[in-house]
Structure 1
């Protein structure tokens, strides 16, 4: 995968996170987006979100996009995350695609699972994909200073090819505001801390 790591902005407040515009190569982004329009989506509904999603694997990723799930891409992104967050991560990388349509929303949450009986993700990297996202489409990524939905720290427009990465913790409160128009696609790379 062709990525640009030159202009990544890092911040530790309100929780460790990083952001970059034009992170993903333009042609690759176009190819991925064309595939996502016809990909095998499944609707998932929980108490805090409703969205379409699926796990990327060797069976459902077309040959021209196999770079998305290649060991080289996983290792490169793992190394990037280790550098951004000063951590050690396992080689395991799970890749999921999300799609949000009109009226869908992801309410405030932190992705942290307390005392899990199974291994849970410790870090995430998100890549936004769309055909240009006007502000009145909604679908903003919102990060919060606390679990109070009024306590907004930052609001980020899901610009095409942009990246947002963060460390999952009790403090990593975030949400996606209501979609009013358009189709908001996100690739999510999940990482696991090496303990």
Structure 2
């Protein structure tokens, strides 16, 4: 399925935003981009923005690209991210911004039931000097910037629409146009509060980099982590143990730093200088938890390559568990 991002930055605030990298598989991304040239771009102006827009529901090419299976897959993965059921009949619109175009501070609040958005950008080698920077704002003022994101190729921004979801795009400078596609979703039910850990269906980029380092010690090619991955959420540790058949090769003793007496070690300063107790305590404060990362070797054996403290936290609290699994690539 096409959606396979890494999370670069993940907010723990009330509007649940995330900056994403490598959002779509290459073939699907290229197919999206290929159709831009033939689109009938129309200028759109409001009090706070100017740009060119096309709703892709009117394009046979894009209607075929967004098949029912593709829509089902995208909606399911983003539903897992927000812990709410999103409809598969989401809206898809293409945006083109040229010199002088801009989008001022706004939240995307609306009266038609739109609740969540994913922005994907399509601009290779884009520089901040060209403008078009997506700003995440602490309030309605462009001076109070919380985060900034270049609209580079196959990257983007995911968020829940709330009273506080202020964002903007700086004016375009120069001749090169800025392209993006906006996915707009409506939730079909209220957010589920199950009292369980809320695991993200996408791995953090830094966790993937750490997993590559660990995997190299196992003789696993780093290219393994450049492929698609499978996300699974297990309702309990017992369910997860049944999945791996008690044969996860390198878990901490008793799968827990607390119960097993294991002590983690620093790897080239990749982790902050914290004790295991401090790391476990920090996990308990998160609203959204990145999944642990496993590699399935060519012989079927599973190895933990990142997330041992998150695994320990689930064991200690008899909680659920979210994992992403990469299948080994043989070079």
TM-score between both structures, scaled by the size of structure 2: 0.53
The yes-or-no answer on 1:106 pairing with 2:100 is no
Larger radius of gyration between Structure 1 and Structure 2: 2
Per the alignment, residue 59 of structure 2 pairs with 60
Change (3 A) 1:164 1:17: same
Matched, 1:157 2:155: no
Distance 2:73 2:153 in 1: 21
Q: Which residue of 2 aligns with 1:192?
A: 186
- Between the aligned partners of 1:79 and 1:8, the Cα distance in structure 2 is 21
1:80 to 74, 77, 95: 77
Moved over 3 A (4+): 5-9
Cα displacement string for residues 5-39 of structure 1 (whole angstroms, at most 9, x for unaligned residues): 34464213363112221112234333332321231
1:146 to 139, 145, 148: 139
Question: In 2, are the aligned partners of 1:33 and 1:130 still within 8 Å (CA)?
Answer: no
- 1:21–1:159 Cα contact (<8 Å) kept: no
Instruction: Please report the RMSD computed on the Cα atoms of aligned residues, expressed in angstroms.
Output: 1.9
**Could you say if the C-alpha distance between residues 37 and 112 of structure 1 is closer, same or farther in structure 2, counting changes exceeding 3 Å?**
same
Does 1:51 pair with 2:51? yes
1:132 matched to 2:125? The reply is: yes
Count of equivalent residues: 188
Counterpart secondary structure, 1:72: helix
- What CA deviation, in whole Å up to 9, does each residue of 1:37-56 have, x standing for no partner? 23111111110111111111
Residues 27-38 of structure 1: pairs in structure 2 closer than 5 A? 27-38=27-38
Distance 1:17 1:127, change over 3 A: same
Structure whose residues are more often helix by fraction:
2
Q: TM-score, normalised by structure 1?
A: 0.87
The one of 52, 67, 70 aligned to 2:67: 70
Structure 2: gaps (5+ residues): 190-331
Residues 14, 145 of structure 1: 8 Å contact kept: no
Name the counterpart of 2:214.
Answer: none
3-state SS of the aligned residue for 2:75?
helix
